[in-house]
Amino acid sequence: MKKGTSKYNKLAESLEGLYTLETLCERLRINRIKAIYIIHRLRKLGFVKTFYTEGKRRLYSISLRNKQKGISYTERINEVSPVQLASSNPYYIHGRIPSHEEALIYAIKQRDVRHLIASLALFRKISNWSLLYNLAKKEGLINEIVALYELSRKIVKKVRRMPKRFLNLAKKRKAKKFSYIIKHFSSDDFKDIERKWKIYMMKK
């Protein structure tokens, strides 16, 4: 093992998470120059992946798992969404890149406000609607998908139009009773969507 490698392995393990340069400085109580050097060393060892927000701000994912050369659903969402997610226990896919359709299903299943808000941007990338329908049907999430799709059309730019076939199939499977996307969360802003699909939406 090269000199210093063990130290940086332990550092990467202790820093597990998502950082900006500023938050890394705060976490380690160091200046920017030292933080940049640490990111450089950790990246050379394979522990750092870099993402960008819509404002081109850099975000650094630090994890020992990054060296495994897999990609997580969380990373797949972060590639698209301006709302960047951090996961203490990400699910990694090896040997292939998970589809945007799979990432959307994963996000909904987390039943977490931040995941759901981030997932809305994924509708801009959905191209295989048949795959999405089959995945949603398997997980019992068809109503959630169409409700979130309609929400995304209201607040996300350039969302692709859902095929009529998907929409018609969803209408046939519409629930008779209301359910929650996130337990005990409902919205004051999207009551029309809630009534249409019998799904209580997250708070804005």
User: For residue range 128-177, what is the model confidence (pLDDT) as tens digits?
Assistant: 999 999 999 999 999 999 999 999 999 999 898 999 999 999 998 877 78
Q: Is the pLDDT of residue 1 over 50?
A: no
Q: Is the pLDDT of residue 182 over 90?
A: no
Q: Is the pLDDT of residue 96 over 60?
A: yes
Domains for the chain: give ranges and CATH numbers. Answer: 1-69 (1.10.10.10), 71-204 (no CATH)
Q: What is the pLDDT of residue 174?
A: 78
For the whole prediction, is pTM greater than 0.75? no
Contact assessment for residue 85 and residue 118, using Cβ atoms and an 8 Å cutoff: yes
Task: Give 124's DSSP letter.
Answer: G
Q: Rounded to an integer, what distance in angstroms lies between the CA atom of residue 193 and that of residue 200? A: 8
User: Rounded mean pLDDT of 96-123?
Assistant: 93
The CB-based long-range contact list for 158-166 (8 Å cut-off, 24+ gap) reads: 158/124, 159/123, 159/124, 160/123, 160/124, 160/126, 160/127, 162/129, 163/129, 165/129, 166/129, 166/132, 166/133
Burial of 26 (0-12, 13-18, 19+ CB in 10 A): exposed
168: left (phi over 0), alpha (psi -120 to 50) or beta: alpha
The angle at the Cα of 116, spanning 65 to 106, to the nearest 5 degrees, equals: 50
Q: Which residue did the predictor score with more confidence, 75 or 176?
A: 75
Residues 98-110: pLDDT tens digits?
999 999 999 999 9
Q: Rounded to an integer, what distance in angstroms lies between the CA atom of residue 121 and that of residue 56? A: 16
Specify which residues 191 forms β-bridges with: none
Q: Is the pLDDT of residue 84 over 70?
A: yes
User: Rounded mean pLDDT of 18-47?
Assistant: 94
User: Rounded mean pLDDT of 69-74?
Assistant: 81
Q: Where does the pLDDT of residue 202 fall: very low under 50, low under 70, confident under 90, or very high at 90 and above?
A: low
